[in-house]
Structure 1
Amino acid sequence: MNLANWLHQSGLTRPDAPALYFGHKLHARYSQFAHRSCAIGRHLMEQYGIKPGDRVALFARNCPEYLEVLYGVLWVGAVIVPVNNKLHPREAAWIVENAQADVVITETGDLYSNTDDLKHPAQELGLHSEELSEVARHGSAGSYFPPAETRGDQTAWLFYTSGTTGRPKGVMTTHDNLRMMATSYALDVDTVTPQDVALYAAPMSHGAGLYNFQFVRAGAAHVIPPSCGFDPAEIEGLGRSLGNLVFFAAPTMIKRLLVHAEATGWRGEGIKSVTYGGGPMYLADINHALDVFGPKFIQIYGQGESPMTITAMPRDIVADTTHPRADARRASVGFAQSCVEVRIVDTNMNEVAPGQVGEIVVRGDTVMAGYWRNPEATTETIVDGWLRTGDLGAMDTDGFVTLTDRSKDVIISGGTNIYPREVEEVLLNHEDIFETAVIGAPHPEWGEEVIAFVVVGKDCQLDKDSLDAWCKSQIASFKKPRRYIFMSELPKNSYGKVLKTSLRERLSLMEDHSESV
């Protein structure tokens, strides 16, 4: 089944319902949304030769037209290739070429101005060009037809991973994968109603964009902030005027919301739900968020290879303080979503005992079809139907999964495993620390030593001795950082996830210890 049918049906059922907002300005109602997407799909077929199964890349910031194009591509049975707009044009062009895209729709229309070494550049079309604007403007006047028929196992969304360990890989996500993801949202994450307003403050090329489908199906509104990104003041304003905001946020975004709330006295009025994931949400941070905003938070854990759909923790459990293990549950990523099975296994794929750390593996209807043009990586990652996530964690007897770290991030010192997240949790419990990230560095005697990058709060001062004393009061001495490197901010990707690869590079380039104490 073609997911574009959900927009087609909402356009018929709720033609006058507000569909797309840019800030407070209404961009399109549902009938207009559907007709514009149909017209864009028809234009891609007639003028650019796009056929079912062909790839169309989209390299742009968040905007209302993003969803119109996305559905236009799906409408004719083609595959959307969303490209992170924060990438360098050369990186984006490599993805377009690797995907063998026939068309790339870009914000500026000049992707190839500095990428003339590519062998097979795609046809480029400007997202805001007069050509595409004219197509969308006259969508209602052109012939309208239902979405093309597609099989559920056909690729709909070709998502490229971050590529922190090399070139990114294309994850083939099918119509069935996405349909099950959206259906599971209503069972495992949050209710979906026509009164919801889905806010896109995180990149639509990633999880925030994936979360559009359930709201299109319900005929809910979608709003893109005027900044096209994340701005706490904008979110407050939109919440107060539109109300019922629902959005996905990385933990670092929630921290920024809290800073804004404490400065202005705002307490989350107008926000219905915040689904968080994409990185660890430390216990101290979620406790603070609950104190300020109340029970608006829902935890999810997923990967591009099983988008948004490995575990979840509903708002009532996130906010619960009465359970004997309430803190431990809140520090976890919840339990398996209804569409998957989750296990913790050893290196031989044997399930480990409750509480024991191993690799998280997942099996179910949301697991990708495989990596695009990369059968070797697919074989390594999907074993007997189980997706090897590369994440380490433990599952308790109630099924709650607690992440420790990516397998590549584990620090082995003196033959003992040290999990960076455990050290980070301790440091973040210090009232003067705003952010931290812990990595391992080579050590001639112990193999590796623990290094902590620290961002202190405004007007706060810390030194090695005080942090050593704090850590010694909280964790075993061998887990304590041997060095602290103070920074004004941590490097992050466009989704707010801390880039530990950048921290390792910084550490290796330091010629002396002038930045550390």
Structure 2
Amino acid sequence: MTRNRDPKLPWSVRSHNLAHFLTKNAARLRDRPAIIWDDTTLSWGDLDRRVSALSAAMRDDYGLQPGDRVMVQSPNNNQITEIMLACWRIGAVWVPSNYRQRPDEVAYLAQKSDVSLMFCEEGFPDHATACLDAAPRLEHVVCIGQGFGTAYDDLIARHAGVHVPDAAVDRDAPCWLFFTSGSTGRPKAVVLTHGQLTFTALNHLHDLTPGTTPEDMSLVVAPLSHGAGMHQLMMIAGGVCSVLMPSGKFDPARAWALVERYRITNMFTVPTIVKMLTEHPAVDEYDHSSLRFVIYAGAPMYREDQKHALRKLGQVLVQYFGLGEVTGCITYLPREDHHVEDGPDTRLGSCGIERTGLHVSIQDDDGCELSPGETGEICVAGPAVCAGYYMDDGANEKAFRDGWFRTGDLGHMDAERYLYITGRSSDMYISGGSNVYPREIEEIMLTHPALSEVAILGAPHPRWGEVGVAVCTCEPGQSVSPEDLAQMLEQKLAKYKLPHHYVFLDEMPKTGYGKITKKLVREELEAQGIWPGEGA
């Protein structure tokens, strides 16, 4: 991993170790709750002791050194946070996976990041086996629960009482490999650093939840491996307790019960979950007057859904726009810019203003900044931008230009610097808050002998934001049913990537040069009256 250090400086720049947030909380808030999950309540002192014990196990039992990568495959629990903080305490790098991914997908992440140790929840033995086979340096898997490898609780018990201080780290020392996907659908590892995430945690507190104190309470409703993990880090920075949803399928009634029971003041989620929460009858059965901030990101929110949520919850919505490469830190639309009624102050379609300390620029293909109202690529600079992609010079060269990070999204800013996203330079679409990259699906579908051409498009959906439409043409004399294609894809893709609609055309529309473009395909479906719109 390359550290962006000025070669003219013979010294390194010492940084705040992210684990020091815990050290500070354990000293000042020792007996106050840090994590609540089902029947488990850990105080800041408890959490600090468990993190030290785990840090000692990583260092002494497995010989981990600063910079070594540690993978985690698990749904939400207190152990994920403990592993994250233990990695940082000894200077190791946290590598969380999306627990919904298939074993072969997670194995690729393990191989790509060259992990040295893996923690795997007991419900995912196949993931552990696949990673052991794929990652050359991986020899040990710790089981969160029972069933294979070393038991997590045994490690904690073995090193109970051992104190491990926070390791000295440079500002640009890597601490988190955040996996995202490129336009080809192959995951890329974004290198996040201690200095960068220290800035981002404080920025989140300032912009998204101003006035936060240890008196606040946060509800965790999204996977801690991604955006919710960043949100929890900012809550740790503020000394705020995180309440985790029970295991299993998301239940809005249980969420509202927790809001009432613990007087929840903030939560982070995606628009589809906000819609589910505010349309469920339980929203009127439990007291949610404690809520001050409901933060949503990951996809646009339909205006009618926004209005409904504001009517149910009051003026508590906060939107932000960001990518993993910028740890969610590009723009935000604060509470005061969310209005129930449309009017001159309602900035319809805007994702807000620049985050504090960040600079957004709309640029043309040559990197020249455009004027207000002109559409171009959204670029960003500032302390929240990542250190680049791990072991991927090609992706780094494409993503950075003259010090700017190129998001790949298209948009414009108005005269007051409110940002409006108008399209994507790639064909990626967002379904239920997760990025879906068509080429990955297209390549799998084209392995079917009956298919000649495939184009995957994202279509509006009232619940999931967008869903996939698979537009297909068959080989002469061949045919295949949507059910057969769905069955094939279910064996190879995570569920959120599966198309919702299958359309068969006699001929795929093409440009004069014989190229298939998504714009022409969509126009053809609209012309035939078979494009699934927002009401589908």
Q: Which position in structure 2 is the counterpart of 1:11?
A: 26
> What's the offset of the Cα at 1:144?
0.9
1:125 maps to amino acid: V
Aligned counterparts of 2:263 and 2:223: Cα–Cα separation in 1 = 21
Matched residue SS, 2:134: coil
Residues 160, 507 of structure 1: CA spacing in aligned structure 2 closer, same or farther, 3 A cutoff? farther
1:177 maps to amino acid: Q
Residues 229, 452 of structure 1: CA spacing in aligned structure 2 closer, same or farther, 3 A cutoff? closer
Out of 245, 250, 269, the position equivalent to 1:225 is 245
Out of 282, 295, 298, the position equivalent to 1:275 is 295
Aligned counterparts of 1:193 and 1:306: Cα–Cα separation in 2 = 25
Aligned counterparts of 2:75 and 2:257: Cα–Cα separation in 1 = 21
Matched residue SS, 2:91: coil
Aligned counterparts of 1:385 and 1:168: Cα–Cα separation in 2 = 23
Q: Which position in structure 2 is the counterpart of 1:20?
A: 35
Aligned counterparts of 2:408 and 2:249: Cα–Cα separation in 1 = 29
Residues 230, 406 of structure 1: CA spacing in aligned structure 2 closer, same or farther, 3 A cutoff? farther
1:179 maps to amino acid: T
Out of 73, 91, 96, the position equivalent to 1:82 is 96
> What's the offset of the Cα at 1:142?
2.0
After superposition, give the CA deviation of every residue in 1:121-146 in whole Å (9 maximum; x if it has no partner): 6221112347321333466x422132
Q: Which position in structure 2 is the counterpart of 1:251?
A: 271
Q: Which position in structure 2 is the counterpart of 1:97?
A: 111
1:63 maps to amino acid: N
* Residue 41 (1) aligns with residue 61 (2): no
Aligned counterparts of 2:378 and 2:28: Cα–Cα separation in 1 = 42
Aligned counterparts of 1:198 and 1:509: Cα–Cα separation in 2 = 49
| Mapped contact 1:27–1:64 kept (Cα < 8 A) | no
> What's the offset of the Cα at 1:305?
0.4
> What's the offset of the Cα at 1:287?
1.4
* Residue 157 (1) aligns with residue 183 (2): no
* Residue 57 (1) aligns with residue 77 (2): no
Out of 118, 125, 133, the position equivalent to 2:134 is 118
Aligned counterparts of 2:416 and 2:144: Cα–Cα separation in 1 = 48
Q: Which position in structure 1 is the counterpart of 2:360?
A: 342
Out of 317, 320, 323, the position equivalent to 2:337 is 317
Residues 169, 449 of structure 1: CA spacing in aligned structure 2 closer, same or farther, 3 A cutoff? closer
Q: Which position in structure 2 is the counterpart of 1:445?
A: none
Matched residue SS, 2:328: strand
> What's the offset of the Cα at 1:65?
1.4
> What's the offset of the Cα at 1:179?
0.7
1:343 maps to amino acid: S
After the TM superposition, which residues 232-247 of structure 1 pair with which residues of structure 2 at under 5 Å, given as runs? 232-247=252-267
| Mapped contact 2:307–2:341 kept (Cα < 8 A) | no
> What's the offset of the Cα at 1:205?
0.5
| Mapped contact 2:311–2:340 kept (Cα < 8 A) | no
> What's the offset of the Cα at 1:325?
3.4
Out of 180, 193, 202, the position equivalent to 1:183 is 202
After superposition, give the CA deviation of every residue in 1:15-47 in whole Å (9 maximum; x if it has no partner): 101111113x34211011011111101101111
| Mapped contact 1:207–1:308 kept (Cα < 8 A) | yes
Aligned counterparts of 2:499 and 2:505: Cα–Cα separation in 1 = 10
**Percent of pairs with identical residues:** 30
Q: Which position in structure 2 is the counterpart of 1:400?
A: 418
After the TM superposition, which residues 488-499 of structure 1 pair with which residues of structure 2 at under 5 Å, given as runs? none
1:314 maps to amino acid: P
Residues 235, 138 of structure 1: CA spacing in aligned structure 2 closer, same or farther, 3 A cutoff? farther
Q: Which position in structure 2 is the counterpart of 1:68?
A: 82
Q: Which position in structure 1 is the counterpart of 2:43?
A: 29
Aligned counterparts of 2:396 and 2:85: Cα–Cα separation in 1 = 28
Relative to the length of structure 2, the TM-score reads: 0.75
| Mapped contact 1:178–1:366 kept (Cα < 8 A) | yes
| Mapped contact 2:110–2:134 kept (Cα < 8 A) | no
Q: Which position in structure 1 is the counterpart of 2:8?
A: none
Aligned counterparts of 1:271 and 1:340: Cα–Cα separation in 2 = 28
1:120 maps to amino acid: P
My pick for the range that moved more, 120-129 or 32-41, is 120-129
Aligned counterparts of 2:200 and 2:252: Cα–Cα separation in 1 = 28
Relative to the length of structure 1, the TM-score reads: 0.78
1:394 maps to amino acid: H
Which structure 1 residue ranges, 5 or more long, are not aligned?
411-419, 422-436, 440-447, 458-484, 486-496
| Mapped contact 2:263–2:288 kept (Cα < 8 A) | no
* Residue 144 (1) aligns with residue 150 (2): no
Aligned counterparts of 1:244 and 1:258: Cα–Cα separation in 2 = 16
Aligned counterparts of 2:286 and 2:368: Cα–Cα separation in 1 = 49
After superposition, give the CA deviation of every residue in 1:408-433 in whole Å (9 maximum; x if it has no partner): 249xxxxxxxxx99xxxxxxxxxxxx
Residues 149, 453 of structure 1: CA spacing in aligned structure 2 closer, same or farther, 3 A cutoff? closer
> What's the offset of the Cα at 1:393?
1.1
Aligned counterparts of 1:332 and 1:71: Cα–Cα separation in 2 = 35
| Mapped contact 2:410–2:422 kept (Cα < 8 A) | yes
Residues 26, 456 of structure 1: CA spacing in aligned structure 2 closer, same or farther, 3 A cutoff? closer
My pick for the range that moved more, 216-225 or 113-122, is 113-122
My pick for the range that moved more, 180-189 or 448-457, is 448-457
Count of aligned residue pairs for this structure pair = 444
Aligned counterparts of 2:495 and 2:318: Cα–Cα separation in 1 = 21
Matched residue SS, 2:136: coil
My pick for the range that moved more, 120-129 or 235-244, is 120-129
1:150 maps to amino acid: V
> What's the offset of the Cα at 1:339?
2.2
Q: Which position in structure 2 is the counterpart of 1:480?
A: none
Residues 449, 60 of structure 1: CA spacing in aligned structure 2 closer, same or farther, 3 A cutoff? closer
